[in-house]
């Protein structure tokens, strides 16, 4: 697949939650196209549906209606086996608030997705070292999360997301609470991965510093997404 080719396509996706008898319409018929090697930012106020949209695109949750294609392949809500396999192999996640396992070292946190994929131990060691080096933490693999700074923890989370060489990285507020220098390192790393490896990024962010470095910025407002489809 070449740069500029569609990786993810979401059409007419809606999602409602029912809570205490109330129905919350979190996403209202959202259309979104993401191409290979592209960094797209999703902005919008708190509660506008950003995390909900990321969960659908990351195959962590299913829409109530609409259609999702990954690399041209339709992924209906009922196809759990294929969705799970694809999520493990092709999608990396950077969650709001790191989500590192506290009792595991940085090395073991980054290793875990490869372990789940059944990658042989020698190859895992090499790839974990490579991912840690890419985020500038090659010497800190033995540290546990509470022995690292906030920025270093976020870099471990990014190393964990990219170690399996995913085609898509879903990142929820990856630079929130980071100082300017660390935030700019994170953004530079994303740009390098998008450019060199063709990795696509879908990033929910409130961070104004990030937006100039993204290829597109899309606004969610009360579950309605503006400009989700490329103008050709």
Ligand X SMILES: Nc1ncnc2c1ncn2[C@@H]1O[C@H](COP(=O)(O)OP(=O)(O)OP(=O)(O)O)[C@@H](O)[C@H]1O
Residues that bind ligand X (CB under 6 A): 17, 19, 24, 26, 44, 46-52
- Chain positions contacting Mg ion, by CB under 5 A: 50-51
Q: Which does 124 bind (CB under 5 to 8 A by kind): Mg ion, ligand X, none?
A: none
**Long-range contacts of 101-105, Cβ-Cβ distance < 8 Å, separation of 24 or more:** 101/145, 102/144, 102/145, 102/146, 103/144, 104/144, 105/141, 105/142, 105/143, 105/144
Which is nearer to ligand X, 48 or 105 (by Cβ)?
A: 48
**With contact defined as beta carbons under 8 Å apart, do 15 and 225 qualify?**
no
Element (H, E) at 154: helix 150-162
Taking the complex as a whole, how short is the minimal distance between the CB of residue 46 and Mg ion, in angstroms? 7
CA distances from 147 to 16, 123, 142 (A): 40, 26, 9
Which is nearer to ligand X, 22 or 196 (by Cβ)?
A: 22
- The structure tokens listed for 87 are 């999520």
Q: Which does 52 bind (CB under 5 to 8 A by kind): Mg ion, ligand X, none?
A: ligand X
Taking the complex as a whole, how short is the minimal distance between the CB of residue 134 and ligand X, in angstroms? 27
Q: Which does 150 bind (CB under 5 to 8 A by kind): ligand X, Mg ion, none?
A: none
Taking the complex as a whole, how short is the minimal distance between the CB of residue 135 and ligand X, in angstroms? 24
Of 23, 58, 12, residue with least CA distance to 170: 58
Q: Which does 17 bind (CB under 5 to 8 A by kind): Mg ion, ligand X, none?
A: ligand X
């Amino acid at each position: 697949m070449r740069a500029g080719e569609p990786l993810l396509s979401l059409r007419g996706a809606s999602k409602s939650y029912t809570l205490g008898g109330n129905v919350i319409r979190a996403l209202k018929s959202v259309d979104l196209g993401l191409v290979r090697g592209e960094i797209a930012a999703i902005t919008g106020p708190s509660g506008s549906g950003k995390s909900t949209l990321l969960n659908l695109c990351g195959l962590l949750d299913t829409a109530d209606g609409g259609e999702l294609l990954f690399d041209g392949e339709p992924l209906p809500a009922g196809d759990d086996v294929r969705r799970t396999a694809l999520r493990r192999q092709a999608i990396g996640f950077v969650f709001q608030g790191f989500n590192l396992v506290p009792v595991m070292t940085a090395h073991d946190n980054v290793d875990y997705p490869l372990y789940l994929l059944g990658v042989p131990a020698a190859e895992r060691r090499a790839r974990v070292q490579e991912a840690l080096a890419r985020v500038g933490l090659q010497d800190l693999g033995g540290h546990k999360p509470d022995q690292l700074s906030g920025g270093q923890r976020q870099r471990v989370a990014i190393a964990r997301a990219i170690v399996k060489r995913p085609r898509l990285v879903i990142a929820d507020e990856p630079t929130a609470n980071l100082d300017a220098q660390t935030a700019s390192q994170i953004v530079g790393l994303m740009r390098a991965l998008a450019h060199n490896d063709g990795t696509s990024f879908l990033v929910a962010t409130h961070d104004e510093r990030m937006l100039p470095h993204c290829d597109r910025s899309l606004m969610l407002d009360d579950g309605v997404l503006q400009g989700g489809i490329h103008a050709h």
